[in-house]
Amino acid sequence: MGNAGRLSAFFIFTVLLLSFIQLNGFSFSSQEIVLGPYTQNVTDNSITVVWETSAATTNNSVEYWENESHLFVKYSPSGYHHEVVITPTFSRGYYRVASDGVKSRAFEFELASNCYNRGYFKTVVFGDSRGTWDNWVHAKEVSDAVNREHPDIVIHGGDMVGNGSSIEQWNRWLDISMPLLQNSTMFAVLGNHEHNNSRYYEIFSLPNNERWYSFDYGPCHFIVLDNYEAWGAGSSQYRWLEDDLSSTDKPFKIVCFHEPIYCSGGHSSRADIRAAWAPLFKKYGVDVVFQSHNHYYQRTEPINGITYIVTGGAGAPLYDPEDAWFVEKSMKAFHYCVLNVSLQDMEIRCTAKYTNGTSFDKFTLVHEMPGVEISKPESALYLFNKEIMPLPSPVIIGRIDIEAAPAQNFDIKNAEFYIDGEMKYSDSEEPYAWLWDERALGSHEIMVKAYDSKGAGASDKMQVMIFHL
């Protein structure tokens, strides 16, 4: 091949190579995405996407979609640290980030509101990862085990690192935690070893002032508190806590903070904080309190109706738990706690697990389910919408009003009326009713589905005999 042929072949090769690079999203930019992307601060209608680049970038964005043929884009200011809040109109989808032409791969996201579609969600709570003592071996083991649970959200109880001023330790923690961060949304509790370092606030994007805050997920209200800021009666945190507890209408109330107020073994219980916070927990019906700091698992018997958990087995050197009058179960083990929340049954099944996924402790929290009932027809004979006489079961001649009423203090915002599984009518105003005036003969099923303002649902159904020609 002559020189001209070689030049022509080289030219064709170069064009093909550049086309391949462009089609596959590669860039000659000197910067790259060095952290993330991952999600933070998920709500019913929004979620925050976080990532960092190796140098400051000017053209930064998040692309998100339910169907890739219709992309939505949200832009971020210049810089190396990027946080973008997206507000999808769909509860589950995909996202990727781009900075000066460099794109990440696509990841899935899920809003809190998606749990209403599924009827359940899963949370994992664990704490005390700091793994410099064994080169992060056990911390990675626990994080990987949690990731295999496929939780919707995760709450880390603090002490991710041994020294919050060490960038190297944060980088190691991020390395072992990134699969989990990218497959769920993690909330965080400030521990003593973070030293309130600024890196904590870069990695996590949290509600309120990021030290104490709350968020809702399905029927659960989660509260995160800070042991290391003023917490006594009259403090800003105490006033915020009482206001928050008194204003939520969620059935389940779950509180998380780092240093335990009930524990036995290792660090002593913080009786001073207990004296301030425990009366509020009792007054406002908190169900369970998760604490860390001591490197073991421990569960109390219910104290004034509240179960206190110590979960500090996320990788730090283990401590020896001890017995006490309030202790129901203890275990010296690397572990994590799984909360399976059922919206239909209005229950939380709590399970403590070893890193191989087997359980060693279980308990269940149950709340009375919201309810709706079919108030008409009752067990009676109806003649053209008028009750004639009681019967063992409803018998209807002619048309009839089907009426629904709330049960168990359920605040109905919308009621749907079904006949044999087919929705016939939807009513959003009291009294919730529908006139059944269709030809029908024989046995049929009436069902009512009702929903409150937060999407929680309830239903009731009955079989009736009807003669309407």
Q: 3-class secondary structure for the chain?
A: CCHHHHHHHHHHHHHHHHHHHHHCCCCCCCCCEEEEEEEECCCCCCEEEEEEEEEEECCEEEEEECCCCCCEEEEECCEEEEEEEECCCCCEEEEEEEECCEECCCEEEECCCHHHHHCEEEEEEECCCCCHHHCCHHHHHHHHHHHHCCCCEEEECCCCCCCCCCHHHHHHHHHHHHHHHHHCEEEECCCCCCCCCHHHHHHCCCCCCCCCEEEEECCEEEEECCCCCCCCCCCHHHHHHHHHHHHCCCCEEEEECCCCCCCCCCCCCCHHHHHHHHHHHHHCCCCEEEECCCCCEEEECCECCEEEEEECCCCCCCCCCCCCCCEEEEECCCEEEEEEEECCCCEEEEEEEECCCCEEEEEEEECCCCEEEEEECCCEEEECCEEEEECCCCEEECCEEEEEEEECCCCCCEEEEEECCEEEEEECCCCEEEEECCCEEEEEEEEEEEECCCCCEEEEEEEEEEEEC
Q: Is residue 1 part of a domain?
A: no
Q: What is the pLDDT of residue 412?
A: 83
In angstroms, the CA 234 to CA 402 distance is: 53
- The answer to whether residues 401 and 450 belong to one domain is yes
The tokens for 392 are 């063992």
Query: Of 139, 185, 183, 186, whose CA–CA distance to 161 is shortest?
Result: 139
pLDDT of residue 25: 41
Q: What is the pLDDT of residue 249?
A: 84
Residue 29 within any structural domain of the chain: yes
Clarify whether residues 402 and 331 are in a common domain. Answer: no
Nearest to 128 by CA among 38, 275, 304, 260: 260
258 within domain boundaries = yes
In the prediction, which pLDDT does 68 show? 85
Is residue 117 left, alpha or beta, with left meaning phi > 0 and alpha meaning psi from -120 to 50? alpha
- What does the pLDDT read at residue 30? 67
Q: What is the pTM of this model?
A: 0.78
In this structure, the strands spanning 107-110 and 92-99 are: antiparallel
User: Across the beta sheet with 297-300, what order do the strands follow?
Assistant: 213-217, 220-224, 252-256, 288-291, 307-311, 297-300, 327-331
- CATH number of the domain encompassing residue 298: 3.60.21.10
Q: Are residues 387 and 315 in the same domain?
A: no
The closest of 281, 408, 405, 303 to 346, measured between CA atoms, is 408
Phi first, then psi, for residue 379 (nearest 5°) are -75, 90
Cross-strand bridge partners of residue 299 = 309, 329
290 & 381 share domain: no
If asked whether residues 166 and 312 sit together in one domain, one would say yes
Domain shared by 315 and 207, yes or no: yes
In Å, what is the CA distance from 51 to each residue of 34, 180, 181, 204?
8, 15, 11, 11
- 119 belongs to a structural domain: yes
Judged on CB neighbours under 10 Å (0-12, 13-18, 19+), 424 is: middle
Are 348 and 408 within one domain? no
Do 302 and 389 lie in one domain? The reply is no
Same domain for 356 and 418: no
Find, among 196, 263, 272, the residue nearest to 228 by Cα.
Answer: 196
Domain presence at residue 384: yes
Structural domain of residue 384, as residue ranges? 371-468
Q: Could you tell me if residue 92 is inside a domain? A: no
329: closest CA among 347, 307, 314? 307
- The residue out of 305, 337, 366 marking a domain boundary is 366
Helices 236-247 and 271-283, interaxial angle, to 10°? 20
CATH classification at residue 450: 2.60.40.10
Residue-level pLDDT at 28: 45
Asked if the structure places residue 93 within a domain, the reply is: no
| Closest among 408, 431, 409, 407 to 417, alpha carbons compared | 431
Question: Cα(first)–Cα(last) distance of the chain, in Å?
Answer: 92
- Domain-terminating residue out of 316, 342, 366: 366
What φ, ψ does residue 17 adopt, rounded to 5°?
A: -65, -45
Of how many residues is the chain composed? Answer: 469
User: Which residue in 220, 194, 224 sits closest to 208, CA to CA?
Assistant: 224
Residue-level pLDDT at 366: 92
Q: Do 191 and 272 share a domain, yes or no? A: yes
| pLDDT per residue as tens digits for the range 277-313 | 999 999 999 999 999 999 999 999 999 999 999 999 9
Query: Which residues are registered as beta bridge partners of 455?
Result: none
Residue 21 within any structural domain of the chain: yes
Q: Which residues contact 12 (CB under 8 A, 6 or more apart)?
A: none
Instruction: Identify whether residues 281 and 383 lie together within a single domain.
Output: no
Task: Tell me if 344 sits within 8 A of 119, measured CB to CB.
Answer: yes
Tell me whether the omega of the peptide bond preceding residue 406 falls within 30 degrees of 0, making it cis.
Answer: no
- Domain shared by 346 and 445, yes or no: no
Amino acid 413: pLDDT: 82
- According to the model, what pLDDT value does residue 408 have? 63
**Residue whose structure tokens are 């979620």:** 47
334-393 tens-digit pLDDT: 999 999 999 888 899 999 999 999 999 999 999 876 678 899 999 999 999 999 998 989
Number of folded domains that form the chain: 3
Which segments of the chain have a pLDDT < 70?
Answer: 1-30, 369-370, 408-409, 454-456
